[in-house]
Every structure is written in structure tokens, then in C-alpha cells.
Chains A and B, each alone.
Chain A
Amino acid sequence: MDTQDEYQVDLGNLMAFDPFHHFTSIPSSREELVADCLSKGTELVQAIVSGIFNLPSTEDIDGPLVKLPPPTTKLPREKPLPKPKPPTRWEEFAKAKGIRNRKKDKVVWDEQTGSWKRRYGYDRVNDDADIPIIEAKMTDEPGVDPFAKRIAERKERVQKQQKNQLQNLKTAAKAGALPSHVQLAATALPITGTQAAKKKFTKDELGNVAGLASTATASGGKFDKKLRGEKPVKNQGKHRKFLPVVEGSGIGSQEKEQTERVLSKLISSNSHEILNVDKAVTMYNVNKERKRRNQYGKPSSTRNEHGKSSSTRNEHGKSSSTPSKLKPNNKPMKAKGLPNKGKGSFSNKGKGSFSDKGKGSFSKKGKAK
């Protein structure tokens, strides 16, 4: 009793532990240390032995047998606890209906042969091969072999049973309670533990991977032999194409058109804010003014001719290639923020001196505001 209190003894593991032992002075030599440890060990073993030899024992040929208590030291498991097997479809049904299992005899009296035969398996009762005659019925269809029909029916029953079994195994596998010796062929190694079944690839995923693999050659799969029935590669990666930026006709202009299309699309979404009626009026006035000046200012025609190419082209650029919405874009922004100033600057810079009318209208507007 005294030792039990002093030491922690686990009889199930034949283990004893002295949590209070410490060396009063650390032994100088190895021999002393070992001797110390052994003497302490002897005490502890004595404690276990006295525990074991006091247990009730039964005499055996080899020696006295003792029933050990279960180990008390808590140690981790090596594998997870086995999960309970879910009931099969039949078990569920039987429980709902209150059907209880009855034991059946393994052998049954066979009237055809007049002997005892197995219920199932080799040389069983009511075997297909043993039936010499099947009596014809009124419902029989002519031209159908009743023997073949009987065999076919049995095969069907067997198949149905196999299908049901597989279904039950699947549910068991889902619950993680598949019998250890059974393996569903799609799952991983039949080794224990909780291993998730390998993920099945979908048809699309497989197609994608196959496509990638077939184009993973130097020529991008261009010269590879196609298999019979091989479908064209799905989801082939996009090759980006860039249009030439150099201006020109044909392809050269496509790049410009492309960007313009994008821009106009962007701008048109908030075009209602862009169209500034005042400005449009001014521009119209300015243009009109210029035309008139050109008509009047004949003497300066040579100079005009000189700069004609550039100016006309500019005008063309404004009217034709740049959409009308595009141009006013940057300026109305300014105009919006500071209406008076923006308009003033515009008039000052360019053609303010010519447009008296316009100026007047602006100032009016400003006052009104």
C-alpha cells in the first residue's frame, strides 16, 4: 500500500514511475550512477511485482497465469476508431416492417432427386440442370425456350443483387465503413486508414488536358498524326494578334479604327454630358467666319496655298476620321469645371478676335448664370 502511494504503477503496461526521485549528489563515476539507477529500479520493479503477484492467478502448464488490468496510461491510437457500418437497404426495410431474421437450414430436401441437397452453391437444390420437364402453361408464348428463359431470369436476379450490393457498399464507403478487405476499384490502395477516394476527372477536364498535351510540341501539334476519331482541340490557348501601328491603307488603318471604336463606345456612354450646345454654336460660327475670310482675303491666297495641305488635312482629320463626339471630349471637361474661364481661353487662343457674336453670347450666358 505504501509503495502504491509513493509510485505511479500501471499494471497493464507493467510500468512504474517514481516522480519524486532525484539524485542528492550527482555520482562522480559512471559505475556509481548505474548502481544508483539499478537500486532505484529494483525498488520500482518490486512495487510492480508485488502488485502482479497479488492478483488472482490460474495455474497453467507453463506457469501461473494472471489476468492483467487494462493499461491506465493514456496513449494515442495508431488508427482512427472504426466507424459503424450504415444499414443496408434491406436492413432498413426489414426494420421498418419489423421483419426478423430466421435461421435457414443449410440443406434442403430436394423432391426432384429425392435427396438432401445444399440450399446454395454447388450441387444445390432446384438446380437448373436438374429440371427435366417444365410444364407448358396457357400463357406461354410460342417459340420461347422455357429452359433458356429460366436461366436468363436467374442471371437477371443475380445481376440485380450485385447492383444492390454495390449500392450498399458505396454508402458504406461514404460513411467510411467499408470492410477492410473490400476495395471499390476506383479508390486508392487497399491499405487501412481514412483515405479519400481519388478525385475523378470530368470529361471536360480530360479534354482540356488532352488538348494541352497534343499541342505541347515544338510545332504546336501541327504536324502530329491525328488519331482516328480524335476531335479538334478544345479550349486552345488564344494567340494574341497585334495590328500594325504604322498608318496606311488597308490593315494599317485597322488599328486606328479599332481604337476609335473603343473610344467612341466609351464616350457615347456619357455623350449627353459631352455635347455642349454653346460650344457647338461657337465652332459653327468660327468656321463660318473663316470661310468668309478666305473668300475676302484673296491676296493672301499664295500663303494659304502654302499652308493649304496642312490645314485642310487637319480639317479633314477633324471631320472625317475623328468622330464629332471625340473632339470635344477634352475641352468640355475643362468647360464643365470652370465654364467661363474655359470658354474664354478657347476664344482667346484660337479665334476669339473674330467671333464677336459668340463672345457676346458667352458673356450673356455667364451673366445669366
Chain B
Amino acid sequence: MLKVKTPKNRRVQRELEKRAPRLVEKGKKTLLLQGTKTSNVLNTVLSEIYHLKRDNAIRYTRKNDSIRPFESGGETSLEFFSMKTDCSIFVFGSTSKKRPDNLVIGRTYDHHIYDLIEVGVENFKQMDSFTYDKKLAPQAGSKPFIVFSGEAFESVDELKHLKEVLLELLRGEVVDNLNLAGLGRVYVCTAISSNRVFLTHCALRLKKSGTTVPRIELVEIGPSMDFVVRRHRLPNESLRKEAMKTAKDKTHKKIKNVSKDALQGKLGKIYVPDQKLGEMVLPDKSKGVKRERREAKKKNSTNEPASKKQKEDS
């Protein structure tokens, strides 16, 4: 016999509802973790990514010896962590002689590995090494701009993949309304060669330009680094197809009586009800005008004197 189990308190229920699949998703949480060996560089890279994404990221600091994302069987504990923390992007750092300063960035679909890309970190400069006016420092959790440039992002398969993953990693929450005063940071990604991407984090300085659109200046605030693409694994076609499904716009209701015409543009039909003149209310409502009264008067005119007399008597 099955038993219905429901959460004992409201807090747990809210937490479960947050994890439920939804029609329109609002961005993914990030899990940052590392393998058995990491370097100093990787530790700072991971902690700074965590710092930048503090509002929707989780950082695991223990060693994980059973995680090898590219090997079969090495993804089980990763998938478990993804399920446990409800994170759909992970950044896994590890270093070895063959692949020094290795970052594996991957996404999951339904808590199973969706795709993977492996990059090496080079020329890393951490946040502390940049000097700038602290007034420019962006607010935590503000929505960043993301800028990609370079033809390699379109021509090279790996970089095309990396672009998509980086966009999803860095973009933050999907919002409907944006406060223009809160804009203050940019991620700049440039493809230097066919397997190397330069990534840096900048603050924005808005300057008056005389129009409503301000003039922009970028101030590098770090971290900045080079990504060298190593291995990558694209999702298989059927999984990709399933993951790309979107909710058909159910809010988009069919609008009646409005049609579009190539020549005339938007056309509307207006329904005007029949004018019932007989039932129309006349503006004059004084008692004397009413038909019944008039008719009644005519009828009673013969008896009237008698009744009046009677009344007078009584």
C-alpha cells in the first residue's frame, strides 16, 4: 500500500516547490568543486568564480576522488551532487601533469550530464592584483553584460560550445525588469586563436553623452584569465532535442476580431449591437408624461367627481 507523504511544514514544502520543474526557467545554479589535486591558481579561480556568482552558486571545498567527468562511471557522484544541491552547471577543477590547471565546465539536464567542456587556465590574474577606484566596484548580484568577440566563436566547434556554456555560467538570473541604475559590470570574452579565449571581468563607468544613452568606459577589475580548450563533449542529438523544448506560449491567447492584413496592417472588427428604439428610455421622466397615468386619468374622468365627493365626506 502506498502512503502519501507530504512535508510536515511550510518551509520544506516551499523548498520542494522551488526544485520542481517549471515551464519557464529562471537560470541555473552553479556548483563549484574540485578533484583530489588542485593548484593554487585553480583554488583562486574557483573561489573567485564563486565570489562573482555568490547569489546562485554552491562551493564544495573538499577533495572528490571519484569524479572524472569525461570517463564513464566517473560522473555518478557528480550527478548525485547536482541532485542534492539542485545545481545544473558545475565547474570542476583539477590539476595533473598531463592537464595542468584544468577546469571542466559542464551542464546537466534532469540531473544527468548534458555536455562537458574542458579548459586549461593560463595567465590568471586575480582580483586583488587590480587597482581601481573602489567606487566603481559593482554591486553583488547585479546582472552582468556579456560580450563575445571573435570569428572563432562561430567557426570553431569547441569555441562555439564554450561560448554557450560561458553565457549560461555568467549570465545570472533571467529577469523581466531591469533596474538601469544597477548595471555595472561586463564579462568580456575574446577568441584570441582557434583554441584560446581571453576572459576578463570589467566594471562600467557611465559618462554623459548628451543623449539618453550614456557613453561607456570599461575598467578592468578582474579576475582575468586565458582559457585553452582541451576536450569537449557535445550532448547527443536526442537529448539535445528534448532539452531544447520550450513551453508553447500558453499565455498567448487567441485574440478575437483582430486580424492582420499584408496591405492594411492590423484590422479590427467592432460589433455594434442592434439599436432597440422601442425599448429606449426617454429622457423625460416626469409623472404626467407616463402613458398609464394619462390613460388612467381619461378613464377615471367620469367617476372622478363622485369619488372626490366621497373623499371629502369622509
Residues A170 and B2 in contact, CB atoms below 8 Å apart:
yes
Residues B188 and A38 in contact, CB atoms below 8 Å apart:
yes
Query: From A53, which residue of chain B is reached at the shortest CB distance?
Result: B213
In the bound complex, residues from chain B placing their C-beta under 8 Å from that of A45 are: 145, 147, 186, 204, 216, 218
Stretch at the interface among A66-74, A106-114, A131-139: A66-74
- Chain B min CB distance to A143 (Å): 34
Residues A37 and B5 in contact, CB atoms below 8 Å apart:
no
Residues B192 and A26 in contact, CB atoms below 8 Å apart:
yes
Residues A185 and B4 in contact, CB atoms below 8 Å apart:
yes
In the bound complex, residues from chain A placing their C-beta under 8 Å from that of B217 are: 42
In the bound complex, residues from chain A placing their C-beta under 8 Å from that of B16 are: 180-181, 190, 192
B202 at the interface (CB under 8 A from A): yes
- Considering only residues 155-198 of chain A, those with a C-beta below 8 Å from chain B are 165-166, 169-170, 180-186, 189-194
- Chain A min CB distance to B153 (Å): 7
Stretch at the interface among B41-49, B102-110, B278-286, B295-303: B102-110
The docked-state distance in angstroms from the alpha carbon of A193 to that of B243 is 13
B180 at the interface (CB under 8 A from A): yes
B63 at the interface (CB under 8 A from A): no
In the bound complex, residues from chain A placing their C-beta under 8 Å from that of B55 are: none
B182 at the interface (CB under 8 A from A): yes
- Chain A min CB distance to B189 (Å): 9
Residues B177 and A33 in contact, CB atoms below 8 Å apart:
no
- Considering only residues 175-206 of chain B, those with a C-beta below 8 Å from chain A are 175-183, 186, 188, 190, 192-193, 198, 200, 202, 204
The docked-state distance in angstroms from the alpha carbon of A64 to that of B88 is 32
Query: From A192, which residue of chain B is reached at the shortest CB distance?
Result: B19
Stretch at the interface among B66-74, B163-171, B256-264: B163-171
Q: Mark A21-53, 1 if CB is under 8 A from B, else 0.
A: 111001000100110111011101110111011
Query: From A81, which residue of chain B is reached at the shortest CB distance?
Result: B245
- Considering only residues 86-124 of chain B, those with a C-beta below 8 Å from chain A are 86, 88, 107-111, 114, 123
In the bound complex, residues from chain A placing their C-beta under 8 Å from that of B3 are: 184-186
In the bound complex, residues from chain A placing their C-beta under 8 Å from that of B163 are: 17
In the bound complex, residues from chain B placing their C-beta under 8 Å from that of A20 are: 151
With contact pairs A78-B88, A181-B17 given, residues A71 and B2 touching in the complex (Cβ less than 8 Å)? no
In the bound complex, residues from chain A placing their C-beta under 8 Å from that of B22 are: 79, 82
B7 at the interface (CB under 8 A from A): yes
Residues A60 and B179 in contact, CB atoms below 8 Å apart:
yes
- Chain B min CB distance to A17 (Å): 4
A220 at the interface (CB under 8 A from B): no
Residues A65 and B213 in contact, CB atoms below 8 Å apart:
no
A232 at the interface (CB under 8 A from B): no
With contact pairs A185-B5, A194-B110 given, residues A76 and B235 touching in the complex (Cβ less than 8 Å)? yes
Residues A34 and B200 in contact, CB atoms below 8 Å apart:
yes
In the bound complex, residues from chain A placing their C-beta under 8 Å from that of B140 are: none
B154 at the interface (CB under 8 A from A): yes
Residues B167 and A62 in contact, CB atoms below 8 Å apart:
no
B305 at the interface (CB under 8 A from A): no
- Chain B min CB distance to A351 (Å): 75
Residues B180 and A64 in contact, CB atoms below 8 Å apart:
yes
B224 at the interface (CB under 8 A from A): yes
In the bound complex, residues from chain A placing their C-beta under 8 Å from that of B246 are: 77
Query: From A42, which residue of chain B is reached at the shortest CB distance?
Result: B218
With contact pairs A52-B178, A53-B214, A180-B20 given, residues A16 and B5 touching in the complex (Cβ less than 8 Å)? no
- Chain A min CB distance to B72 (Å): 21
Residues B218 and A57 in contact, CB atoms below 8 Å apart:
no
Which of A23, A65, A81 contacts B177, CB < 8 Å? A65
The docked-state distance in angstroms from the alpha carbon of A6 to that of B214 is 20
In the bound complex, residues from chain A placing their C-beta under 8 Å from that of B137 are: none
In the bound complex, residues from chain A placing their C-beta under 8 Å from that of B188 are: 37-38, 40-41
Which of B108, B147, B180 contacts A78, CB < 8 Å? B108
Residues B182 and A54 in contact, CB atoms below 8 Å apart:
no
In the bound complex, residues from chain A placing their C-beta under 8 Å from that of B212 are: 53-54
Which of A22, A66, A75, A193 contacts B110, CB < 8 Å? A193
In the bound complex, residues from chain A placing their C-beta under 8 Å from that of B13 are: 181
In the bound complex, residues from chain A placing their C-beta under 8 Å from that of B50 are: none
A366 at the interface (CB under 8 A from B): no
Residues A49 and B2 in contact, CB atoms below 8 Å apart:
no
Residues A21 and B23 in contact, CB atoms below 8 Å apart:
no
- Chain B min CB distance to A307 (Å): 75
Q: Mark B240-257, 1 if CB is under 8 A from A, else 0.
A: 101111110000000000
In the bound complex, residues from chain A placing their C-beta under 8 Å from that of B220 are: 34, 38
- Considering only residues 224-249 of chain B, those with a C-beta below 8 Å from chain A are 224, 235, 240, 242-247
Most B CB contacts (10 A, CB to CB) among A30, A42, A79, A170 go to A79
Residues A54 and B20 in contact, CB atoms below 8 Å apart:
no
Residues A37 and B176 in contact, CB atoms below 8 Å apart:
no
- Chain A min CB distance to B212 (Å): 5
Residues B147 and A190 in contact, CB atoms below 8 Å apart:
no
With contact pairs A75-B167, A76-B240, A184-B3 given, residues A44 and B179 touching in the complex (Cβ less than 8 Å)? no
Residues A21 and B214 in contact, CB atoms below 8 Å apart:
no
In the bound complex, residues from chain A placing their C-beta under 8 Å from that of B167 are: 13, 15, 73, 75
- Chain A min CB distance to B207 (Å): 11
The docked-state distance in angstroms from the alpha carbon of A186 to that of B5 is 10
With contact pairs A18-B150, A76-B243, A81-B21 given, residues A62 and B171 touching in the complex (Cβ less than 8 Å)? no
Query: From A76, which residue of chain B is reached at the shortest CB distance?
Result: B243
Q: Which 10 A-B pairs have the closest CB atoms?
A: A63-B181, A180-B20, A76-B243, A185-B3, A78-B88, A41-B188, A79-B21, A18-B149, A44-B147, A21-B149
5 A-B pairs with C-beta separation under 8 A: A14-B146, A38-B202, A63-B179, A78-B28, A183-B6
Given contacts A48-B147, A76-B114, A79-B25, 18 further A-B contacts (CB under 8 A): A14-B145, A15-B147, A15-B171, A19-B153, A30-B123, A37-B149, A37-B190, A41-B147, A41-B202, A44-B149, A46-B215, A65-B179, A67-B178, A79-B110, A180-B17, A180-B19, A181-B6, A186-B2
Binding site for B on A (CB under 8 A): 12-23, 26, 30, 33-34, 36-38, 40-42, 44-46, 48-50, 52-54, 57, 60, 62-68, 71, 73-82, 165-166, 169-170, 180-186, 189-194
